[in-house]
């Protein structure tokens, strides 16, 4: 039986498509490796974190961790600053651009699932030299046109899953890039919150020092009056003046630190430092704005932390790379075809006799490469092992961060109570020695000593409040903010 050429072409196309659809995937199937887990966190919770039934999985509620977790601190100024990160922070824009590039990479590799068709039309004239060897003037056909319109088709049949794995790898890399974006977003919001609370702590320190400077000025005036009246020696005046000047130096130092925090906040929200002035708002020591953050189990942390999710997706991508490397050991099957029209003039260019075509499959196999493919496969296996180690280390670090900040919050809660008591005792002692000094019972050294002790305790009160706020932010960050893996993009 005689089969026409178009019929033969259709048979080839159908056969190759059938082979491609039936193609298998070489290489390992991905399974998420295990991570060492404890049934619950070791460190106890601070008082304001405890629910009726203790540490439990977060339930839907008004105070549940959400994307805008900073609103739990009930600070309008903080909310206003945090809202400016998303549209203006340049680090975040860089991460967003990287994510956009990774999504485009999916489309790039997915294009290999379809044939590639190209064309290169050309028009020219051909004249053969009459002086060339063996030229036959009788059969010469000089000055004819050369009109060509070819269409080339190339299509690799994905027998071993190389193309499918490449697309899957690009998709997993894009998900990892999105997790990196969320990690950057969470880190930037947490960094701004920490800088903001440091700034408010500096405001409280400055208010305390301003009040202290006024008190020390009064003390200096008292010692000068007593000296002028002959009731105190000149050394008391010198001591009081030194105490006052030391407090003034500390106030200046606090201003330097506050300016640095304000500059850092300006850069985080995409502004030059000269364009931002944050109003002075001293932090409240007696009742700091600590949120009641819902709890989570260690196993849930693997789903809530974007950095863990990013490492897990990179692990999946590395697994696909193993399959890609293994597919190199198998033959590649490619379908190639060329068709078009060629003629000697524009009048006969598109006539039926001017048609031409050629079609056929190509099977290629590397026979010897001196271990190159084996080395590539070993590299892929080693890189996969490295991603497993990175994933487990990131998970362990996440558990540590939660434990550290739970411990810090619990300890600082106790320490704050102890510090309040110490500050009250220092104030009482100073008051007693002031009375004794004014009555001429004690010298001024006792007053200076307890002025210094009281100031140190009051400053430590403020610093403990700052550390409690910072630990709250870091715990929220360690818990992944309000994020979870269900927010990873799914490529259609």
Q: Per residue in 309-323, pLDDT tens?
A: 999 999 999 999 999
Rounded CA-CA distance 226/434 in Å is: 13
Percent of the chain with pLDDT strictly greater than 90: 64
Q: Which residues contact 435 (CB under 8 A, 6 or more apart)?
A: none
What is the pTM for the complete model shown? Answer: 0.85
Can you spell out the DSSP letters for 307-350? HHHHHHHHHHHHHHHHHHHHHTTS-EEEEEEEEEEEESSTTTTT
3-state secondary structure of 461: helix
pLDDT at 67: 78
- Angle of helix 306-327 relative to helix 162-228, nearest 10 degrees, comes to 150
pLDDT at 484 over 80: yes
pLDDT at 192 over 80: yes
HSE-up of 481 (CA within 13 Å, CB side)?
A: 23
Contact 159, 287 (CB under 8 A): no
Rounded CA-CA distance 315/395 in Å is: 13
The CATH code that applies to domain 31-113+160-330+375-487 is 1.20.1600.10
pLDDT band at 21; cut points 50, 70, 90 = very low
Mean pLDDT along residues 190-210 = 96
**Alpha-carbon 81 to chain mean position:** 20
pLDDT band at 272; cut points 50, 70, 90 = very high
pLDDT at 232 over 80: yes
Rounded CA-CA distance 239/224 in Å is: 11
pLDDT at 231: 85
Number of other residues whose CB lies within 10 A of the CB of residue 138: 4
Closest CA to 63 of 54, 81, 51: 51
Tens digits of residue pLDDT in 160-184: 999 999 999 999 999 999 999 999 9
Least confident of 42-56, 100-114, 202-216, 262-276: 42-56
Mean pLDDT along residues 261-280 = 95
Tokens in use for 471? 């630990």
pLDDT at 281: 92
Mean pLDDT along residues 10-39 = 69
Residue appearing with tokens 């999504």: 103
3-state secondary structure of 144: strand
User: What does the CA dihedral 176, 179, 184, 190 come to, rounded to 10 degrees?
Assistant: -150
Closest CA to 61 of 291, 285, 369, 279: 291
The domain locations on the chain are 1-26+116-157+331-364, 31-113+160-330+375-487
The CA angle 311-315-319, to the nearest 5 degrees, is 170
CATH class of the domain defined by 1-26+116-157+331-364? mainly beta
Mean pLDDT along residues 409-413 = 91
Rounded CA-CA distance 100/111 in Å is: 17
Tokens in use for 99? 């994510």
pLDDT band at 300; cut points 50, 70, 90 = confident
Pick the most confident of 11-25, 34-48, 290-304, 397-411.
397-411
pLDDT band at 136; cut points 50, 70, 90 = low
Rounded CA-CA distance 50/34 in Å is: 30
DSSP 271: -
pLDDT at 291 over 50: yes
pLDDT at 179: 93
pLDDT at 199 over 70: yes
Closest CA to 205 of 476, 462, 408: 462
User: What is the residue-averaged pLDDT of the chain?
Assistant: 86
HSE-up of 118 (CA within 13 Å, CB side)?
A: 5
Choice between 198 and 488, residue whose per-residue pLDDT is larger: 198
Rounded CA-CA distance 411/394 in Å is: 25
Residue 297 parent element (H or E): none
Contacts of the segment 164-169: beta carbons below 8 A, 24+ positions apart? 164/25, 164/113, 165/25, 165/27, 165/320, 165/321, 165/323, 165/324, 165/327, 166/109, 166/112, 166/320, 166/324, 167/106, 167/109, 167/110, 167/112, 167/113, 168/320, 169/109, 169/317, 169/320, 169/321, 169/324
Rounded CA-CA distance 325/393 in Å is: 26
Residue 201 parent element (H or E): helix 162-228
pLDDT at 64 over 70: no
Closest CA to 317 of 12, 27, 4: 27
Rounded CA-CA distance 157/331 in Å is: 11
């Amino acid at each position: 039986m005689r089969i026409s050429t178009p019929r033969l072409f259709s048979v080839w196309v159908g056969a190759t498509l059938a082979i491609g659809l039936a193609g298998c995937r070489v290489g390992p199937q991905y399974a998420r490796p295990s991570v060492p887990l404890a049934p619950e966190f070791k460190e106890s919770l601070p008082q304001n974190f405890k629910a009726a039934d203790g540490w439990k999985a977060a339930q839907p509620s008004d105070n549940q961790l959400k994307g805008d977790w900073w609103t739990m601190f009930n600070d309008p100024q903080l909310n206003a600053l945090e809202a400016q990160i998303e549209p203006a922070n340049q680090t975040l824009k860089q991460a967003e651009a990287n994510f956009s590039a990774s999504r485009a990479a999916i489309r790039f590799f997915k294009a290999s699932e379809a044939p590639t068709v190209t064309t290169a039309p050309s028009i020219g004239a051909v004249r053969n030299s009459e002086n060339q060897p063996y030229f036959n003037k009788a059969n010469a056909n000089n000055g004819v046109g050369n009109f060509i319109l070819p269409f080339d088709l190339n299509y690799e049949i994905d027998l071993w899953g190389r193309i499918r794995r490449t697309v899957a790898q690009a998709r997993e890399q894009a998900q990892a890039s999105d997790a990196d974006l969320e990690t950057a977003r969470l880190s930037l919001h947490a960094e701004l919150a920490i800088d903001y609370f440091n700034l408010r702590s500096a405001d409280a320190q400055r208010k305390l020092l301003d009040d202290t400077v006024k008190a020390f000025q009064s003390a200096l005036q008292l010692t000068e009056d007593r000296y002028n009246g002959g009731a105190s020696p000149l050394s008391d005046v010198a001591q009081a003046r030194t105490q006052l000047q030391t407090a003034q130096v500390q106030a200046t130092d606090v201003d330097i630190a506050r300016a640095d925090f304000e500059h850092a906040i300006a850069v985080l929200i995409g502004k030059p430092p000269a364009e931002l002035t944050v109003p002075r708002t001293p932090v409240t020591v007696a009742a700091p704005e600590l949120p009641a953050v819902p709890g989570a189990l260690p196993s849930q942390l693997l789903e809530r932390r974007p950095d863990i999710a990013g490492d897990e997706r990179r692990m999946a991508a590395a697994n696909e790379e193993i399959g890609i490397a293994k597919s190199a050991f198998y033959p590649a099957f490619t379908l190639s075809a060329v068709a078009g029209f060629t003629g000697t003039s524009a009048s006969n260019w598109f006539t039926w006799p001017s048609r031409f075509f050629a079609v056929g499959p190509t099977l290629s196999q590397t026979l010897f490469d001196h271990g190159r493919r084996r080395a590539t496969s070993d590299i892929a296996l080693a890189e996969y092992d490295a991603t497993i180690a990175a994933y487990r280390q990131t998970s362990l670090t996440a558990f540590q961060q939660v434990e550290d900040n739970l411990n810090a919050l619990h300890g600082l809660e106790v320490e704050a109570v102890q510090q309040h008591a110490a500050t009250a005792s220092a104030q009482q002692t100073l008051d007693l020695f002031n009375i004794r000094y004014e009555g001429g019972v004690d010298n001024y050294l006792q007053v200076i000593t307890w002025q210094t002790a009281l100031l140190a305790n009051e400053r430590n009160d403020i610093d403990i409040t700052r550390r409690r706020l910072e630990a709250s932010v870091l715990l929220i960050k360690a818990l992944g903010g309000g994020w979870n893996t269900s927010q990873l993009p799914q490529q259609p």
